[in-house]
Amino acid sequence: MYKKGHKKKQKKRGKSDGRNKENILHSDKEEIEEVSTADEKKSLCYEIKYSDVMGRYIVAARDIKAGEIIIEEPALAVGPCTGCALICLGCYREIDENNINKCKNCKWPVCSGSCPGQGKYTGHSTYECETLRSIPPDYSKLEDLRDSYQALMPLRCLLLKKADPPKWQALSAMEAHNELRRARGDIWPTNEKNVVQRIKSWGLEYDPEEIHTVCGILEVNAFEVGGSGANARALYDRAYLLAHDCTPSTTHTDSERTPGRPITVRASIAHKAGDLISLCYAYTLQGTLKRREHIKHSKFFWCSCRRCADRAELGTSASAFRCPRCAGAVLPERPLQRDQPWACTRDHCHYTMPAAAVHLLLQRLTDEYDQIDANDVPGFENFLHKYRNVLLPSHYLCLSAKHSLSQLYGKVTDYMIHEMPDTELNRKIDICRDLMKVFDVIEPGYSRLRDSTVFTRIGPNSRVRTSALIRRSHGGGRKRRPEKNQNMGADHRQDILKRALTKSTQLRRIKS
Ligand SMILES: C[S@@+](CC[C@H](N)C(=O)[O-])C[C@H]1O[C@@H](n2cnc3c(N)ncnc32)[C@H](O)[C@@H]1O
């Protein structure tokens, strides 16, 4: 689907693909050792390596093509996310609190007697059901019941000790970062209260240190599964080995309906033998400050990847403020040192901003951005207009607003695709073009961001190229063609959409 543009990108990226390898091989005090067995090497396209900085990680054992499957494996354990609503223990769907269906045996909430997750280890297993039978929930205390869900996933892992020792062994091998987590004032006491004490109050005899370790294993290694707004998380025996990079080289999907709830990790770009196979632990559409804080907070290390180390984030200027003196770009002087000042990038301009002022400004803008309703088209447009003299259009808050707009134009009330005037269609196309320039860098190849921007959904099973929503002239300075398409009427556009519908319903899709 992306082949043409993508090939070009591969050429350009030749050097950068080697970046990860270089970083790993030459960073200080690292000892690389191979831990894969000879048998595994034969069949796998990756091999496991070790470094003092990253622990275990995987690299391509041979050249891997973009789109190729790297890992496909069932889950070791699946369970509710922390902070989820009242959900079915079998299928993780939200439960109507006024009409709770209960498991016949243990009386815990399930969606129905025929929930597909009943009796499965990826849902409400028989051994969990037997354990919970002696701890029926108190439905007069719904808040407490919701809180108790935080202990369910750790309990599911602990139950594997007896129910499925190989799975227990596999998950026990994962990093828990106990020392780093213990030193933090927030995580350890929260887990002590919500998980350790809860399991103790249920009369289940597990060593508190072991429960904390399982909490750590989940925090460091679990994947959210089930799409956006997911209520479930899962551990996988191999996929956890993917190291972090802020320009990831893979995408992954999980299959809710397949037994074992398998994960599929695909190469989003081509890898050369030896290249790091990576995943982004943060949201790629955030700036370096935010991504690094999130990764430190949730995964316990400071990222210093190529994107983080570059003040212009690989040429995207995704964190750039507008210089109040010369309208140039204000960027961090040393992006890996969050307390260092920011400065205008223009030679003649010596404008600087102390780090504290940047953090405050960013917080204020983020708070305002977060107030915008997810479906509010004018809200996002107003934000862009209001801060045009404060943020460069490439700033990630502008990109986030544009990304929302790119998805909302054509999809929500008052902006349905068949009703949109040319000005709005053109706006959507322009926004998508702006976004693609950045997405090509931060999520290159077969990525979800690129996919949702290149294509626009025009029906339940049909998509068209966004750029094909309206015809434009590409000759002579990109002037519009002075003919009937210039101001394509609603009828004409409907016609094009209809044709596109019949032609492109079978567009190849990235499995996502
Ligand atoms: C999901 S685990 C990955 C597997 C882990 N390396 C191991 O040996 O078990 C995530 C942890 O790996 C390490 N890690 C992953 N990517 C890293 C990176 N780019 N830089 C430094 N540490 C990294 C961090 O310790 C992080 O908390």
Residue-wise pLDDT tens digits, 440-486? 999 999 988 888 788 777 766 777 787 777 644 333 333 333 333 33
> Rounded to 10 degrees, what is the CA torsion of 310, 311, 312, 313?
50
470 compared with 355, residue with greater pLDDT: 355
Cβ–ligand 1 distance for 299 under 6 Å, the answer: yes
How far apart, in Å, are the Cα atoms of 412 and each of 258, 283, 407, 417, 448?
32, 24, 9, 9, 21
pLDDT in tens, 248-294: 999 999 998 899 999 999 999 999 999 999 999 999 999 999 999 99
CB-based contacts of 205, cutoff 8 Å, min separation 6: none
Neighbours of 2 (CB within 10 A): 19
Ligand 1 atom nearest residue 57's Cα? 6
pLDDT in tens, 196-225: 999 999 999 999 999 999 999 999 999 999
Partners of residue 331 on adjacent β-strands: 343
Please report, rounded to a whole number, the percentage of residues in the chain having pLDDT higher than 90.
73
483 compared with 126, residue with greater pLDDT: 126
Query: What pLDDT, on a 0 to 100 scale, did the predictor assign at position 49?
Result: 98
- Dist. CA 60–CA 48, nearest whole Å: 9
Over residues 484-500, the mean pLDDT reads: 44
87 compared with 19, residue with greater pLDDT: 87
Through-space distance between the first and last CA atoms of the chain, rounded to whole angstroms: 14
Three-class SS of residue 185? coil
Closest CA to 418 of 496, 470, 494: 494
Q: 140 — phi, psi (to 5°)?
A: -85, -10
Cβ–ligand 1 distance for 387 under 6 Å, the answer: no
Over residues 112-120, the mean pLDDT reads: 94
pLDDT at 26 over 80: no
What pTM value is reported for the model?
0.83
- Dist. CA 464–CA 235, nearest whole Å: 36
Strand 278-279 to 243-244 pairing:
parallel
Cβ–ligand 1 distance for 301 under 6 Å, the answer: yes
Cβ–ligand 1 distance for 369 under 6 Å, the answer: no
Nearest CA to ligand 1 atom 12: 54
Cβ–ligand 1 distance for 49 under 6 Å, the answer: no
- Dist. CA 36–CA 294, nearest whole Å: 31
pLDDT at 501 over 50: no
Three-class SS of residue 137? coil
For residue 19, report the distance from its CA to the centre of ligand 1, in Å: 17
Nearest CA to ligand 1 atom 13: 54
Neighbours of 146 (CB within 10 A): 16
Query: What pLDDT, on a 0 to 100 scale, did the predictor assign at position 459?
Result: 67
- Dist. CA 158–CA 195, nearest whole Å: 12
Nearest CA to ligand 1 atom 1: 221
Query: What pLDDT, on a 0 to 100 scale, did the predictor assign at position 39?
Result: 54
For residue 152, report the distance from its CA to the centre of ligand 1, in Å: 25
Nearest CA to ligand 1 atom 4: 241
Cβ–ligand 1 distance for 300 under 6 Å, the answer: yes
Structure tokens at 157: 């892992």
Q: What's the residue count for the chain? A: 512
- Do 102 and 147 meet the contact criterion of CB atoms below 8 Å apart? no
pLDDT in tens, 318-343: 999 999 999 999 999 999 999 999 99
The CA angle 443-446-449, to the nearest 5 degrees, is 50
pLDDT at 512 over 50: no
Strand 55-60 to 46-51 pairing:
antiparallel
For residue 190, report the distance from its CA to the centre of ligand 1, in Å: 23
Nearest CA to ligand 1 atom 15: 243
Cβ–ligand 1 distance for 30 under 6 Å, the answer: no
- Dist. CA 398–CA 384, nearest whole Å: 6
**Best mutation site among 31, 265, 299, 308 for ligand 1, i.e. most ligand atoms within 8 A of its Cβ?**
299
pLDDT at 141 over 80: yes
pLDDT at 504 over 50: no
Residue 105 CA from chain centroid, whole number: 37
Q: Where are the alpha helices (DSSP H) in 149-287?
A: 152-163, 165-172, 178-182, 187-191, 197-201, 208-221
Mean pLDDT of the chain: 85
- Dist. CA 55–CA 50, nearest whole Å: 5
DSSP-assigned states of every residue in 348-375: T---EE-HHHHHHHHHHHHHHHHTS-TT
Nearest CA to ligand 1 atom 23: 54
Nearest CA to ligand 1 atom 24: 54
- Dist. CA 349–CA 388, nearest whole Å: 20
Instruction: Give residue 317's pLDDT band: very low, low, confident or very high (50, 70, 90).
Output: very high
For residue 54, report the distance from its CA to the centre of ligand 1, in Å: 5
For residue 49, report the distance from its CA to the centre of ligand 1, in Å: 12
- Dist. CA 266–CA 277, nearest whole Å: 10
Query: What pLDDT, on a 0 to 100 scale, did the predictor assign at position 452?
Result: 79
